[in-house]
Structure 1
Amino acid sequence: MLRELRWLMAGALATTLAACSPGDTELLAPRATARAPGRATTQQENLQAFARVYGYVRWFHPTDAASRTDWRALAAIGVAQVRDAATLDELRTRLVELFGPLAPRLDLWIDGESTPAPGPTPQGRDTMVYWQHEGYVGTRLSLYAPPYGQVRVNAEGPHRRRFTQAPAPDARVEVELVPGLHLRLPTVLSPADAEHDGEAPLDDAGLAHAARSASGYHDLDVRQGAVIEVWNVFRHFYPYQDTVEIDWPGLLAQALADAENDRTVDDTAATLWTLVHALQDGHGMVGHREIAARGRLPVRVEMVDGVPTVTGTDDPSHFAIGDVIEAVDGVALAPRVAHLADRLSGSPQWRRFRAASWESLTGPRDAAATVKLRRGRRALEVDAHFNASEPAQPPRPPQLHRFDDGTYYVDLTRAQYEDLEPALPEIAAAPAVVFDMRGYPSNTHKILAHLLREEENADWMHVPQVLAPDGHIVGWDPIGWHVRPAEPHVQGKLTFLIDAEAISYAESILGYVEAHDLGTLVGTPSAGANGDIVRVDTLGGFFVIFTGMKVTRHDGSRFHVEGVQPKVAAAPTLAGLAAGRDEVLEAGLANARTP
């Protein structure tokens, strides 16, 4: 009861974010002292206040109760409970009802009321319970264990620290949630306080079920709950917040407002894409099983000379390399690609590629489509079906190919290292080697050992270490491949073909080419998105993916969005494709054969 009285006490106070030391505290000017509990609030204010408390308690308040709560159910139920609060006082009461059972040390007060006194702090590091986050732990995607983890230090159960930094004993979040309503929440507790075992009010079984259902997105509370969960994950754990400028309050407000008008799975996906787009993250995506069940036309389309052009076909009876696709089922394709690119996340070159090749030609699986295209000067109309799972691959030489002059072609996006290994003596002795990196390779990074002349120890992957909310990163766990040279050493002149499809793992390999000047880069810029991804399964059957670690160049400079730049620019043209030419490969071979 005394704790409940503290929740209902109030007072004007500066807003602070206390993390690891008193030096991190930021003070704001005091507000007016007039009492404001009766000030009317808007639905948008109510939801934004709930969103912020949700993130602070879920990931940074280390009670047993908070760690065991069904947070997705609470997201939807909380949205429903706070939306129509009429005043600041009513909003505070509802927030207390939702979060008080999980966080008895939560203080909420309103301008004009007395500021609650801070509670007791633990005495000594060994009596402190707090969260350590090393990156964000999402849904596991494969048998490979990513380097992300979290632990409640000194709590019951596993409590080994993941890194050495620790917060101050009095570390807390202290913010103004909305004008006139303030929050204080400790992020460090004593063991006794951390053992608090309350239960959130999750008695709306129907809404809790909808939050977990793949069709739950039909409910506004579920849609806005998904926005709140995803926004919080990005706000607290996205590793590029010192690189990418994001208006976090504005982003949340926009997505919450958009969710009000959503009706379909595509509508809701578009709203979640609003959040992902702001990250400028080429790994970023939004998924749902209803979307994944769709098919695509059996072609590959890229923007060539400014128009959507077929660069690969699995249906040569209907589509030829170099065809310009003008419309699908009456919808002009070029504007559609531009619209999709505006929604996607990442660098301009990656968004343009992804929109054209992966997003623009999808539809109900196996459904028919009427395609208008231009082949040279001829206008054609063909019937096709959305029966493909992936874009068609462009025509290329065999994955391992030796030209008559001895120049070797190695496609690292198709060949496995097991394919390369028997040919290594021949590749090593070739006068020149062209490595094709236009796409995504598969475990072929081992080739680097045969290209480097000396061992390297660069750490270019950096996992964020987090103790406090709102993007406050206290350190980085550095990771590198630390490649050691191996025989046989490739002696010839090296050329690497690149384009925007080279993303992530491909850029890890290209980072070595760039850092150690292993060869000439030919083509167009790579995607500019690297680092282990994180999947967040959220309400209504949706999931989002984002990059969970920061990747830099080997010298520590920025890589994100910029990507690897070619030394020799080369790109396909309409005339070249129509003539059956691979102009990027031609430029690469010309470079390789130049003394």
Structure 2
Amino acid sequence: MKTVLLLAVLLAFNSPVTAQSTGSRATIQQSLGFEDQTTTALTGWHSNPPGTVTADNTIAHSGRWSVRLQRDAQSADNFSVITRTIPVAFQGHTVELRGYLKLQDVAGNAGLWIRQDGDDGILSLENMQSQQIAGTRDWAQYRIAVPIQPQAQQLFFGVLVTGTGTLWADDLELLVDGKPIADAPDAPPRQEMPADHEFDVGSHIVLKTLTPTQITNLATLARVWGMLKYHHPTLTSGQRQWDYELLRILPVILAAPDHAHANAALLAWIDKLGSVPPCNPCVPAPTGEFNLKPSLDWIHNRNLLSAPLSSRLESIYTNRTGKQFYVSIVSETGNPRFEHEPSYPQITFPDSGYQLLALFRWWNILQYWAPDRDVAGQDWSAVLADFIPKLALAKDKTAYQLALFELIAKANDTHANLWNSLDSRPPVGECSLSPTFRFIDNKPVVFRVDSADTAFRPGDILDSLNGAPVASLIEQWAPYYAASNEAARQRDLASHLTGGVCGPIAVTVIRSGHLLHIPAKRIAVKQSLGTHDQPGDTFRLLSPQVAYLKLSSIKAADLPSYFDQAKNTNGIIVDIRNYPSAFMPFAMGAYLATSPTPFVAFTFADLANPGAFSFGDGPRVQPGPIHFGGKVVILVDETSVSQAEYTAMALRAMPNAIVVGSTTSGADGNVSSFSLPGRLTTMISGLGVFYPDHRPTQRVGIVPDIVSKPTIQGIAAGRDEVLETAVHLIDSK
């Protein structure tokens, strides 16, 4: 449920491995106190953006030197950062970064950060964002820790600050299981993929057209390739470079004149993997309370497959070992971890072979490891057939990326996207209009305006951009926006709708029923996580009877004070029209629960039975020593996603709680990321999240008990009609 996608993506592009910033764990501690600096030009670290980071010999926690990150309103990018890198050539359970920080007028967030990368991208990231370190603070020690991932190859760490203000850092320490990293034992050798270099620079497959027979044969190949990947013992033990074996068989399948010849080629291909010994003991078929079972009826279909091919696949399934090479389970959370899935950054596009590999990899991961594959509501056979020509015939990398955006959107999963390629999704451009837009009654409406913007007003309905009707632009771009439901899709469209080239743009809006032409300008607008909560303090008393608490800036340490102030009210409004800054289900739930309260159930993947997901009980909210007995009104809308939805589930299970608002994003569960050819990264929701009675939340979202939505008239008048509904509920007897 920890969603740090935006900052993770940004950090990914600001953390290059350079000789200067890469260190040895035996000597790295010598530079973490910054006493090796000799001038204000910071050395030994990668820093970004230029002009915001210096070594400082006037303010330090100890010794003479520290590092200073200083930002103002004109500073480039969204944050300033310093980075060091070391190889993960050590073993242990937890890696920890400690350091002393001093803040002056920090308007965003400041903190330490640490990230682990594998061969194919980010594995984990912690950046103290949830702790909301801001304002002015004297020197104090902070610490962050992450579990060491088995497939981690590089460890990135450093200090960052967002927004404006000044941050000093000094006396950093890097520890493994509480001891200096230099003392950590060496890591054992990793199991690597077999050496195979035939297709390192490309597949050499160029396609201009595809016949219906070729598409059908390729769809069968995709199914067989994926089934073997997760069931054949030669592959589940990592004895082949299975991507390259796909590239070898592709020309044979493409050349097959009919289905019979293609099936014969597939049978001969399977036989080259070697015989499958009879199982003893055999892996039992999935039993018990399952949400999903393997979708493998197709291997028995003699119309799709020849009898010998079908029989061979049935035998492989029966005699599977239950082991996996390409997938493991994250021990802390239970979602799948995808391994040995290279991103092939060196490939030049177009490359029809690698483009088909991207489709086959994604489609099979969805079939075998996505807990919400059926909730997506797709005919997956049709999706595969439809996208074979779209991917195979993409004429350049941009077309390839757009086809992937459209494909990934078929998962109907807000967590899914082509996360490191969002700048290729339409509309393309670095700038946008300054107002914040939001869909109201299926229309893009100005929700908030910058104080300096006098052209737009809240409640304006966006009608056209440079003469193009906005309705037609939405229809054109919507297929590229991955989302669990329409509320989430409209949320994302609203935040990107006015993107394009910086500079003047002709805009028409409808204001109070009248069409107005507005000379406007696209400007560089810093990205942020959108919220619809109230500006201002985290907690306040709206009246002597009504308390208000928003979770976008919540700190667990402040909860005792907040509930003490709210103890004499009739009720508290918990605003989760945002992404919580701290994990609140249990910390806040302790003030509301009167007994151990279940609120969630999960489904978990079964490595021995790919495609099967079994139910497991979730945690319970335990009551604490102090109980708040008033009404609890929880506000949600389309900005409530993932951890926000999980929090709403927990709080709604409490006595006297009610949910008010509109449909949430419908994407919960820890995410599982994987790479696609061309150094692209995507994700799926890796856990199935259900209510205790096994009702789903994916796509459905948190359905409010009382639906309350803003209106265009209310926005124009500066009202928060959802909050007004909540206040009325608490005030009413």
For 1:383 and 1:178, the matched residues in 2 are separated by 57
**Retained in 1: the 8 A contact 2:634–2:659?**
yes
* 1:115-194 matches, cutoff 5 A: 121-122=278-279, 124-125=280-281, 174-176=300-302, 178=304, 180=306, 182-183=309-310, 184-185=312-313, 186-187=316-317, 189=319
Q: 1:296 to 1:417 in 2, by over 3 A?
A: farther
1:417 is matched with 556
1:467 is matched with 608
For 2:255 and 2:420, the matched residues in 1 are separated by 30
2:574 is matched with 435
For 2:324 and 2:498, the matched residues in 1 are separated by 52
For 2:421 and 2:699, the matched residues in 1 are separated by 29
The yes-or-no answer on 1:362 pairing with 2:499 is yes
For 2:298 and 2:711, the matched residues in 1 are separated by 58
Matched to 1:305, the amino acid is D
Provide the secondary structure at the position in 2 that maps to 1:301. Answer: strand
**Retained in 2: the 8 A contact 1:436–1:497?**
yes
**Retained in 2: the 8 A contact 1:296–1:386?**
yes
Cα offset, 1:63, TM superposition: 2.1
Q: Which moved more, 1:568-577 or 1:274-283?
A: 274-283
2:544 is matched with 405
Higher strand share: 2
Deviations 1:191-244 (A, max 9, x none): 9x999xxxxxxxxxxxxx996027644222221211111011111222234545
1:144 is matched with none
1:501 is matched with 639
Cα offset, 1:591, TM superposition: 1.6
For 1:431 and 1:275, the matched residues in 2 are separated by 49
2:418 is matched with 286
TM-score of the superposition, structure 1-length normalised?
0.72
Larger RCO, structure (CA 8 Å, separation 6 or more): 1
Matched to 2:361, the amino acid is E
* 1:304-343 matches, cutoff 5 A: 304-314=440-450, 316-317=452-453, 319-343=456-480
Matched to 1:325, the amino acid is L
1:153 is matched with none
Which residue of 668, 675, 680 corresponds with 1:537?
Answer: 675
TM-score of the superposition, structure 2-length normalised?
0.59
Deviations 1:249-292 (A, max 9, x none): 21100011222442354533342344433333232323344637
Q: 1:75 to 1:369 in 2, by over 3 A?
A: farther
2:34 is matched with none
Matched to 2:649, the amino acid is G
Count of equivalent residues: 484
1:263 is matched with 395
For 2:519 and 2:477, the matched residues in 1 are separated by 24
Cα offset, 1:587, TM superposition: 1.6
* 1:22-33 matches, cutoff 5 A: none
Q: 1:371 to 1:493 in 2, by over 3 A?
A: farther
Tell me, which stretches of 5 or more residues in structure 1 are unaligned? 1-39, 106-118, 133-162, 196-208
1:450 is matched with 591
Q: Which moved more, 1:64-73 or 1:399-408?
A: 64-73
Provide the secondary structure at the position in 1 that maps to 2:448. Answer: strand
Cα offset, 1:580, TM superposition: 1.4
For 2:638 and 2:663, the matched residues in 1 are separated by 6
Q: 1:212 to 1:525 in 2, by over 3 A?
A: same
Q: 1:430 to 1:339 in 2, by over 3 A?
A: farther
Provide the secondary structure at the position in 2 that maps to 1:259. Answer: helix
Q: 1:534 to 1:216 in 2, by over 3 A?
A: farther
1:229 is matched with 361
For 1:265 and 1:61, the matched residues in 2 are separated by 33
1:159 is matched with none
Which residue of 213, 218, 225 corresponds with 1:47?
Answer: 218
The yes-or-no answer on 1:58 pairing with 2:229 is yes
Superposition RMSD in Å: 3.7
2:438 is matched with 302
**Retained in 2: the 8 A contact 1:328–1:369?**
no
The yes-or-no answer on 1:561 pairing with 2:718 is no
**Retained in 2: the 8 A contact 1:495–1:520?**
yes
Which residue of 386, 389, 402 corresponds with 1:254?
Answer: 386
For 2:717 and 2:396, the matched residues in 1 are separated by 44
**Retained in 1: the 8 A contact 2:595–2:623?**
yes
For 1:294 and 1:62, the matched residues in 2 are separated by 48
For 2:348 and 2:680, the matched residues in 1 are separated by 10
Q: 1:104 to 1:554 in 2, by over 3 A?
A: same
**Retained in 1: the 8 A contact 2:463–2:470?**
yes
Which residue of 665, 672, 686 corresponds with 1:527?
Answer: 665
1:512 is matched with 650
1:206 is matched with none
**Retained in 1: the 8 A contact 2:430–2:500?**
yes
Provide the secondary structure at the position in 1 that maps to 2:418. Answer: strand
**Retained in 2: the 8 A contact 1:60–1:131?**
no
The yes-or-no answer on 1:350 pairing with 2:488 is yes
The yes-or-no answer on 1:390 pairing with 2:528 is yes
Q: 1:340 to 1:489 in 2, by over 3 A?
A: farther
